[in-house]
Structure 1
Amino acid sequence: MRFASLLACMSAALVPMPAIVHAIDLTGTPTTIVASRGGATVTLADIDAFAGKIPPEKRAGFFLSPARIENTIDGLLLTKQLAAEARATGLDKDPAVARQMELAADEALALARRQQFEHSIQVPDMSKLAQEEYLAHKDKYVQRGNVVVEHILVGTSTRSDADAMALARDIEAKARANPGSFEALVEQYSDDPSKVSNHGKLEDAANPATYDPDFIAGLSSLRKPNDISPVVATRYGYHIIKLLSREPDTMPTFAQVKDQIVRELSTAYVAKTNQAHTTDLSNMNLDLNAELVRSLQSRYLPAKADTKAQ
Structure 2
Amino acid sequence: MKKFALAATVAALVSALAPATAVAQNIATVNGKPVPKARVEALIQQVTKSGQQQRSPELEAQVKDVVVRNEILVQAAEKAGIPQTADYKAQLDFARQNILIRGLMDDYRAKNPVTDAEAQAEYDKFKAQNSGEEYRARHILVEKEEDAKALIAKIKAGGSFEELAKANSKDTGSAQNGGDLDFANPNNFVPEFSKAMTALKKGEMTQEPVKSQFGFHIIKLEDTRPATFPAFDDVKAQIKQRIEQQKLAEFQDGLIKKAKTDYTFSK
TM-score by length of 1: 0.48
**1:148 CA displacement:** 2.5
1:142 pairs, out of 131, 153, 163, with 131
Q: Aligned in 2, Cα 1:31/1:281: closer, same or farther, shift over 3 Å?
A: farther
Q: Is 2:38 aligned against 1:49?
A: no
**2:198 corresponds to 1:201:** no
Give the 5 Å matches for 1:222-233: 222-228=200-206, 230-233=208-211
- Tell me the alpha carbon deviations over residues 74-101 of structure 1, each in whole angstroms, 9 at most, x when there is no partner: 9989876654332111221346634542
Per-residue deviation, 1:236: 4.8
Q: For each residue in 1:105-140, what CA deviation from the matched residue of structure 2 results, as whole angstroms up to 9, or x when unmatched? A: 24312311221122022667847x939x958x8741
Distance in 2 between the 1:96 and 1:194 partners?
47
Aligned partner of 2:9 in structure 1 is none
CA contact (8 A) 1:179 1:228 kept: no
Letter in 2 for 1:86: A
TM-score, normalised with respect to structure 2: 0.54
Look up the match of 1:101.
92
SS of 2:221 mapped into structure 1: strand
Say whether the 8 Å CA contact 2:138–2:180 is kept in structure 1. yes
Q: In the alignment, residue 49 of structure 1 is paired with which amino acid?
A: Q
Identity %: 21
Match of 1:274 in 2: 251
Whether contact under 8 Å (2:114, 2:244) holds in the other structure is: no
- Aligned-partner SS, 2:197: coil
Counterpart-to-counterpart distance in 2, 1:193 and 1:107: 42
The unaligned stretches of length 5 or more in structure 2 are 1-24, 29-34
Residue 170 of structure 1 pairs with residue 168 of structure 2: no
Q: Which runs of 5 or more structure 1 residues have no equivalent in the other structure?
A: 1-29, 34-39, 157-163, 294-310
Query: Following the alignment from structure 1 to structure 2, what is the Cα–Cα distance between the partners of residues 267 and 84?
Result: 41
Q: Deviations over 1:204-251 (max 9, x none)?
A: 255777x77764554232233223363133555322111121213479
Question: What is the aligned length?
Answer: 223
Q: Point out the structure with the larger strand share.
A: 2
Matched residue of 1:149: which SS?
A: strand
2:251 counterpart letter in structure 1: N
> For 1:111 and 1:181, how far apart are their aligned partners in 2?
57
Alignment match, 2:223? 245
> Quick one: structure 1 residues 244 and 77, their matched pair in 2 at CA, closer, same or farther if it must change by over 3 Å?
farther
Q: Do the aligned partners of 2:202 and 2:224 also contact (CA within 8 Å) in 1?
A: yes
| Structure ID, larger Rg | 2
Where is the helix percentage greater, Structure 1 or Structure 2? Answer: 2
RMSD: 5.4
2:121 alignment partner, one of 115, 123, 130? 130
Supply the AA of the counterpart residue of 2:205. Answer: D
Pairing 1:113–2:95 present: no
Letter in 2 for 1:46: L
